[in-house]
Structure 1
Amino acid sequence: MFKSRGDIVYKCTVRLLEDTEILECEFHPSYKGKFLLEHVCQQLNLTETDYFGLRYVDAGGQRHWLHMAKLILKQVKDASPILFSFRVKFYPPNPLLLKEDVTRFQIYLQLKRDLLHGRLYCTSNEAAMLGALIIQIELGDYDPNIHVGNYVTEMRLLLRQTDTIEARIQELHREPVEGTPGGSGGVKGMSTQEAERQFVKIACQLDTYGVDPHPVKDHRGNQLYLGINHSGILTFQGSRKTHHFKWSEVQKINFEGRMFIVHLNYPEKKHTVGFKCPNGPACRHVWCCAIEQMLFFTLPSSSDACVYSGGGLFSWGTKFKYVGRTEREILERDGLLAPRDSQKEGSSTGGKRKASSVPATPSTPMTGDFGYSSLPRSTHSAPLEESGGDDTCNGACLLSGPAVDIALACTDHLRTVQEEAKPPALGTEYSARDSFEHSSSESGATLATLAPAPDWGGALAPAPRPFSLLRAFVPSFVLAWLGLALLALLLFETDWAPLQTLKRKPELLALRRHYYAPLKDYLKRKLVELF
């Protein structure tokens, strides 16, 4: 007896932020991505679900975010087994404003994971403090009877965990909190909640907070890494952050084949910068990530937010529809922002909001005890001096060295469940080194300025795509020649009775003898030589 489509149940595995924790889930063919995410969040008692997502890898090794409005099965049809990873998708500019403790804890777990896998750049002093806070959260106050020897070595905290850093972490774990009797800037005496709060506060002020780096190349072929977060689009070369394109400066984002293109609108003039991705699917993934981040952190409303981009000469491009609430809608719902005057805005937009009409700045308000700046921090943007020894990190030493670990950060480091591609084998020393072999030796790489961008009339307006004469002509030309070829085969290679009279006409006989037959013989000879 055959089952109907509605009776079929598919099983999948969802790996949580702790690698040792997984969920086994089931879904029907008619279920969309939103169902699975809501199910996972329900199991974790998460109500602030908008910041999270599920990631998977297709058969070609390309990572994707599970689209909430599309069928699950259609997105992972080639995957066996079906594996997802629960991750923070939109890192809030100020995680301390989140309402629920469980949400902040998941943000902490994600940042802890980013630190371990080298995605969170920081100085050696910041790395030691972050490591000490993790020890305080997981082991509690230092106890000389329990915490003996080099107990930090047994815990995996950092990607490059040297003896020097471990010694500093233990020292901070032993020292009392500043402001207490005998306090000297350590973490002893902090509660678990205080330590988590301090960890998140330090991490979210780093340049690479919320950045999942994508490998690209500039117009000179130099290896760069592109990062996208709530503040805009960042580029890294070697150990430096070279450029920061804020959302307020970005007019439009699109892609053509392997080229990811950013149109910038400065007060004095407009620029277009391009980055070459490893392949077409990777370029489309970068574009989707950039569009989602921009819309989430800049649009006041997600209604009718739809974006188009071209994909190349022989493709019709890509349509991307944003699904879910924006950050401003979340903050308004939680009472952290005053609601907008919907009637006033409705009259100015004619009932349909366009992405080009929104202020391209993060809408999260800042509180007194927390400061966020989108400007580069000098300790992270300055080039590093060559380190003379393996453990001689100073205050300017990055946690994971130069671009070597940015490359590692492009993929998640897997242990128990093989969800993503394993990163390349890299060095193991915690020290500042020369940049990646493909990186430029120049002190400041300039990105490819392709041409002055025309006035596109808005960054991401949900209007129909403009008509392209070239894209309309090429498919029509190809289809016309295919039609003529099929007609010639029908006339000269078949014995269909209705065509017999037509085939005996002098014009067609001459056409067959002088053109069709020689071309047919030529193609036959070439095929014989080829095979």
Structure 2
Amino acid sequence: MRFGSGTYNVRDSEGLNPDTLIRQQPSSLQRTISCRVFFLDGTENQFSLPRQARGGELLERVYEYLEIVERDYFGLQFLSLLDPGEETQQKKWLDADKSIRKQMICPPYNLYFRVKFYVSDPAKLVEEYTRYHLFLQLRKDIGDGRLPVAENTAALLASYVVQSEFGDFSAEEHVENYLDGLVFAPNQPGDFGERVAALHPQHVGMVPADSEFAFIEHAKRLDLYGVELFECRDVVEATLAVGANAFGMIVFAPEPPTGRSRVVDLSPSKLRKISEFPWSCIMKISFKRKHFSIEIRTVIDDDTEKNSVLTFHCFSSPACKALWKNCVEHHTFFRLIAPPVKPPKGLFNIGSRFRYSGRTEFQTMEDVKRRVVRADRPFNRSSSKTSFARHTFAGGSGTRSTDSSRISSDGAVDSPELSARGVYSAAPDFAPDARPSRATSWARRLLLAPSERDSSAPGADAPETARTLADVEADCEVVLALHKSTSLPIERSVLAYCTS
């Protein structure tokens, strides 16, 4: 008699036919994973990696693909839906020391290349190619609403973007309303294009590299520059947003709700900075479950020091740990010469052993100084206008326009000289009548100023040997080389050359 039970031996049944195990072995394609990476210029690329590959292997492949030297400022982000207690998509940074599959759980493996550490001064970046990616990231932050900008500042920043893409203003080429379709920031006013067009002629002579440098110089002064926000509450249950940057930790408060609505709007445009704690005043940062604490040392009037602890309540344990890790990484990258050694694994581990394992900003800058910097490395800038494209060369003093017949529908330039990433392999051949860059013009003016001032002074004797234009051009080349190698402003480069 058979009752309501049964047994099925899985292993024995598979062993009956040897071909079963052979067919179930993963193929060569199944032994790899395919990761799709979206870049800041709007392009994307697929990377095939072993199934057990760590995040560092993908990061290395991406850096080699982009040919980025100052790579430690960048990282890869992905969207995670699998954290317990999280109802919305959470952005996470890919950990270089952990398996990709363990971090992202399941396909599709879509990641986004972006700036992780926003440099405090663009002059610290040696390569123009690195500054260009920071420029693209800031434009994306502003366009997505993560970096709110006042209307006047937005118009100024947009004018630098227009100068970088369109070149010098020309009344014949840039007719009225030529910027009507410009979209730079959310909720921009209707006359935004006219205001940008009024500022565009003020940047005559600026090459794309100068425009992007000025763009970053103004953007770095914004309160939310380089800050990743984390929602939390204080001890009185007031909703706040906390983040870290190169200088320390910042606390933001939203605008109070109006009317009968009690919903707090934490969008970046509704936040105002209420507190800022520099790294030099922070003694310790810690978390336990949903509680995040900052120990701060302050100096009272009588030169006595006092320690105080600020505690914030996050909405989930993973979010609290993510805030803590973000602060640890920013402090290590910007403040330390080298990352600290990870504490050894003990028998009874209490607390997280996480430490930032990459290179610090100091190590990155020292490594780039030791390298042979490709000051004149050319590359192709992407254009936000499909009707316009422009070849620009890093470190050069001129630009040239591209024939519109060679522009594809996506705004890229169809040229046999371009590689898959749009990098030129041949040296640029500038036109002899190309307009000198702003740096070249300033160098000539500053080098000529002393001789003109001395010769025009009352009672001054005529110089024994007048400086010819060839002498000035020779000095100008030396000053420009010093300007490129040290990233000093052109005025300081001239002063350093004249006093040497």
1:96-175 aligned within 5 A: 96-173=123-200, 175=201
Return 5+ residue gaps in structure 2 as ranges: 1-21, 83-88, 255-270, 300-304, 371-485, 492-500
Task: Identify the range of structure 1 (139-148 vs 260-269) with the bigger mean alpha-carbon deviation.
Answer: 139-148
Give the conservation status (yes or no) of the 8 Å contact 2:234–2:311: yes
Q: Deviations over 1:467-511 (max 9, x none)?
A: xxxxxxxxxxxxxxxxxxxxxxxxxxxxxxxxxxxxxxxxxxxxx
Give the conservation status (yes or no) of the 8 Å contact 1:234–1:244: yes
Tell me which of 311, 314, 319 is aligned to 1:282.
319
Tell me which of 349, 364, 382 is aligned to 1:330.
364
Q: Who is 1:382 aligned against?
A: none
* Deviation of 1:38 (Å): 1.4
Question: 2:272 matched to 1:240?
Answer: yes
Q: Decide whether aligned partners of structure 1 residues 243 and 303 sit closer, same or farther in structure 2, where only a CA change above 3 A counts.
A: closer
Q: Deviations over 1:36-66 (max 9, x none)?
A: 1111111111011111100111123222110
Question: 2:37 matched to 1:14?
Answer: yes
1:261-340 aligned within 5 A: 261-267=293-299, 268-306=305-343, 317-335=351-369
Q: Who is 1:47 aligned against?
A: 69
Give the conservation status (yes or no) of the 8 Å contact 1:261–1:274: yes
Q: Who is 1:67 aligned against?
A: 95
* Deviation of 1:23 (Å): 1.4
- Which residue identity is paired with 1:241? K
Give the conservation status (yes or no) of the 8 Å contact 1:307–1:320: no
- Which residue identity is paired with 1:211? V
Tell me which of 202, 205, 221 is aligned to 2:218.
202
Task: Identify the range of structure 1 (86-95 vs 142-151) with the bigger mean alpha-carbon deviation.
Answer: 142-151
Partner of 1:27: helix, strand, or coil? strand
1:432-451 aligned within 5 A: none
Q: Deviations over 1:171-199 (max 9, x none)?
A: 111x2xxxxxxxxxx22332111111111
Partner of 1:152: helix, strand, or coil? coil
Q: Decide whether aligned partners of structure 1 residues 305 and 335 sit closer, same or farther in structure 2, where only a CA change above 3 A counts.
A: farther
- Counterparts of 2:179 and 2:316, CA distance in 1: 41
- Counterparts of 1:237 and 1:129, CA distance in 2: 27
| TM-score, scaled to structure 2 | 0.60
* Deviation of 1:148 (Å): 3.6
- Counterparts of 1:302 and 1:30, CA distance in 2: 26
- Counterparts of 1:64 and 1:235, CA distance in 2: 21
Partner of 1:293: helix, strand, or coil? helix
Give the conservation status (yes or no) of the 8 Å contact 2:182–2:193: no
* Deviation of 1:90 (Å): 0.9
Give the conservation status (yes or no) of the 8 Å contact 1:38–1:49: no
Q: Who is 1:343 aligned against?
A: none
Question: 2:55 matched to 1:33?
Answer: yes
Give the conservation status (yes or no) of the 8 Å contact 1:230–1:294: yes
- Counterparts of 1:286 and 1:56, CA distance in 2: 16
Partner of 1:321: helix, strand, or coil? coil
- Counterparts of 1:32 and 1:91, CA distance in 2: 25
Partner of 2:354: helix, strand, or coil? strand
Q: Who is 1:193 aligned against?
A: 209
Q: Who is 1:405 aligned against?
A: none
Partner of 1:63: helix, strand, or coil? strand
Partner of 2:324: helix, strand, or coil? helix
- Counterparts of 2:327 and 2:363, CA distance in 1: 19
- Counterparts of 1:270 and 1:150, CA distance in 2: 58
The count of aligned residue pairs is 323
Q: Decide whether aligned partners of structure 1 residues 303 and 318 sit closer, same or farther in structure 2, where only a CA change above 3 A counts.
A: closer
Q: Deviations over 1:364-395 (max 9, x none)?
A: x996689xxxxxxxxxxxxxxxxxxxxxxxxx
Give the conservation status (yes or no) of the 8 Å contact 1:6–1:30: no
Partner of 2:163: helix, strand, or coil? helix
- Which residue identity is paired with 2:229? P
Partner of 1:197: helix, strand, or coil? helix
Q: Deviations over 1:238-294 (max 9, x none)?
A: 342111111111111111222221111223211111222222211111111111111
- Counterparts of 2:58 and 2:217, CA distance in 1: 31
1:389-428 aligned within 5 A: none
* Deviation of 1:6 (Å): 10
- Which residue identity is paired with 2:278? K
Return 5+ residue gaps in structure 1 as ranges: 176-185, 309-314, 337-364, 371-531
Partner of 2:318: helix, strand, or coil? helix
Task: Identify the range of structure 1 (8-17 vs 138-147) with the bigger mean alpha-carbon deviation.
Answer: 138-147
Task: Identify the range of structure 1 (103-112 vs 259-268) with the bigger mean alpha-carbon deviation.
Answer: 259-268
- Counterparts of 1:220 and 1:212, CA distance in 2: 23
Q: Who is 1:477 aligned against?
A: none
| TM-score, scaled to structure 1 | 0.57
Q: Who is 2:232 aligned against?
A: 216
Q: Decide whether aligned partners of structure 1 residues 33 and 266 sit closer, same or farther in structure 2, where only a CA change above 3 A counts.
A: same
- Which residue identity is paired with 2:61? H
- Counterparts of 2:154 and 2:232, CA distance in 1: 27
Q: Who is 2:116 aligned against?
A: 89
- Counterparts of 2:342 and 2:128, CA distance in 1: 31
1:349-388 aligned within 5 A: none
Task: Identify the range of structure 1 (57-66 vs 3-12) with the bigger mean alpha-carbon deviation.
Answer: 3-12
Q: Decide whether aligned partners of structure 1 residues 69 and 152 sit closer, same or farther in structure 2, where only a CA change above 3 A counts.
A: same
Q: Who is 2:423 aligned against?
A: none
Partner of 2:48: helix, strand, or coil? strand
Tell me which of 20, 23, 26 is aligned to 1:3.
26
Partner of 2:224: helix, strand, or coil? coil
- Counterparts of 1:290 and 1:197, CA distance in 2: 27
Q: Deviations over 1:69-97 (max 9, x none)?
A: 1111211113x311111011111111222
Q: Who is 2:496 aligned against?
A: none
Considering Cα pairs closer than 8 Å and 6+ residues apart, tell me whether 1 or 2 has the greater RCO: 1
- Which residue identity is paired with 2:57? F
**% identical equivalent positions:** 32
- Which residue identity is paired with 1:328? F
Partner of 1:282: helix, strand, or coil? helix
Calculate the aligned-residue CA RMSD, in Å.
2.6
- Counterparts of 1:367 and 1:259, CA distance in 2: 44
